[in-house]
Amino acid sequence: MLILLPPSEGKAERGTSAARRLSFPELASPREKVLDALVSLCRTPEARDVLGLSEGQTGEIERNVALPTARTLPVAALYTGVLYDNLGLATLSPEARRRADRRLVVFSALWGLLRPSDRVPPYRLSMGVRLAPMGGLAAFWRPSISAVLDATKGLVVDMRSATYAAAWQPGERGVAVRVLREAAGKRTVVSHMAKATRGVVARVLVETPDRPRTAGDLADLLTGLGHRVELAAPAGRGRPRTLDVIVDE
């Protein structure tokens, strides 16, 4: 089983070690291309507009320029957004941390794919950016990521945002987790709540030794743990299923 996560814009301020460690060595070449292009961009006046930064975020540009020699920290400590706060990688048991490193895959516009134990420096780059000379990053990464993940087997639990989902689709072995808030008989998507719930679900899936093999197994597991879920049929042949997690107001 793989659990696909987006990164978060919120990140730790600085690394603690000079060592860089990256899983998925097959991605070395595209990583180098994106890194070189990002550093080059951040040496130009256009960097803030291309990266979608405010005037108060110009420090992110300086940080990107220093990426080739910047100090690193584990991916498990890098991301600090709502999803990662609720996933709580630092508070997992040793056994669960080992499972997390096997099961979790974080999509990154700069590094392609990451595992929690990988070590990288803090950076600023979104998959929605068009970066010269490669253009849209989701389209740029798609062939390389597909070559890696198409070769894997088993259930793929997809908790990515649409921007990162554009870089690879798991097909019929995937199940996309959607979070809906129910109030007065109506269901809506609330971004903050959705991120928090996905973090909780991801934690459950790395704390549990058993691996769900199908979308039905996943639904049964979450139901047994007290979550209210609904599993929808695929939108078409070869498409992933959708698992709705219903959260009461």
Question: Across-strand partners of 98?
Answer: none
For the CA atoms of 146, 148, 153, 155, the dihedral, rounded to the nearest 10 degrees, stands at -60
With bands split at pLDDT 50, 70 and 90, how would you rate the model's confidence at 57? very high
Provide the domain count of the chain.
1
Sort strands 104-108 and 241-248 into parallel, antiparallel or unpaired: unpaired
Read off the pLDDT of each residue in 78-89 and give the average, rounded to a whole number: 96
Read off the pLDDT of each residue in 180-202 and give the average, rounded to a whole number: 90
pTM over 0.75: yes
* The pair of three-digit structure tokens given for residue 237, joined into one six-digit string: 């042949």
The neighbour count for residue 226, using CB atoms within 10 Å, is 7
Residue-range definition of the domain harbouring residue 236: 2-248
What single string gives the DSSP state of each residue in 3-53? EEE---S-B-S--SBS--B-S-GGGHHHHHHHHHHHHHHTTSTTHHHHHT-
Residue 14 pLDDT:
86
> Are residues 222 and 110 in contact, defined by beta-carbon separation less than 8 angstroms?
no
Read off the pLDDT of each residue in 1-6 and give the average, rounded to a whole number: 98
